[in-house]
A and B are shown apart, each in its own frame.
Chain A
Amino acid sequence: MNCRISIVGVGGGGCKIGDRLMAMTSIALPTIAIDTDSKSLLESRATTKLDIGSNHTNSLGTGGDINLGKLSAEDDIEMIRSLFSETDLAIFVVGLGGGTGTGAVPVVLGAAHDAGAMTLCFATLPFEFEGERRKTNAEKAVAVIRETTDSMAVISNDKLAELVGEAGVAETYERTDEILGAGVFAIAKLIAEPEYINVDFVELRRMIANGGACSFGYGQGDGKDKAVNAVNSLFGNSLADGGAVTNAKSLLVSILGGKDLTVTELRQIRDGVSSKVQADCRISLGTVIDDNWAGRVAIAMIASEQPIVRHAIVHEQPVSTRDHAATAKSPRGTKKHKMGQTQLIFESSSKGRFKDAVPTILDGEDVDIPTYLRRGIIVEK
């Protein structure tokens, strides 16, 4: 079963990364660009473009006003929500610090969630040289976004720039967008249409649903030893440092390469990654083959300290899921409950004294199942 994914860029920064992503790859995923600036939207290559808040901004952008960004999204909330009605997973890309991205993203995430989509948000923090104000704004936004999204990876632009090395300003911007674009594409494509993958879909989606604050890692290499170079690059930069990998309980690794990617190279990457993590870490590894990547290879990784609950996973039962959705439906509730989303059907034996009771479904979850099981908390027995 395939997962319907959209990639969503919000604000100037997010839309640019979305564009780089489109430019680099030959296989299309639906992309959505949401901005307050109609001029930059015109230049965007996204498959769907949405100009929000034109009443407030005359489509000229927010000029860094976060409130205006928020208002703009709230104004067009219905339109935004409708974008996600057919989506299982919305992958957001946003550059924090400015007006539209910072202000609108929490609202848009909320709308996607209401429409029933699972959300994974990649957010970049501004460069050091962009100043204290943008930095503070971005940090505040991170806290807000964390509340509204299922999983989130915060990426420091300064750390991304380490991968670029010494370069001019324009080139640095361009190359960091490119790197993040490639990383997001690799992850998105892996989830959308996995090839040669050893991962259980349910676990993978569960990882995102449970992920909370994740770390994003990226490395790339070319030449004869492209796989080894990519592994060295992945662990040689500080994107996912600070124990992100060594403490990880689950890792999603996507290997992006051309048709020339060999099994030996795959093994080299797999071994390189496994050697860095703890024994109980669950690695989900898969490849994405794209013609544009012949002769080089990129590794994109999401690391989460939340473990995936393995023993509790049974199987998906589409029919009964739908039943639950019907029970959960209340006159005021807007949340849809979708198959293959964050929800898993647990065996009724995991409900103890409530196993024969009419299940209480709240916010799309069967709350009779112990919270620690649903949240994937490992309890020392």
Chain B
Amino acid sequence: MMCRDVVEADAESLTGLKKLLYRFHMNVCPSCQAHQKQVETTVATLAAMPKDEPSPDAREKALAAFRKNTKQGV
């Protein structure tokens, strides 16, 4: 198993010998470890992205629809 195979593999789906080869390669290859770290940082960066607050206008529109529906009997 070479770096390209390791990088393209879906690690969780590997079984048997392929899983062993993957783990061995990851343990000894600094480049694949660095690649894995890049992926982990990418995922952490996505998680850390600022979340937009809903606009007051959008909230008010939805609340108005809720009120209207409630009056009509939800």
Chain A bound to chain B: no
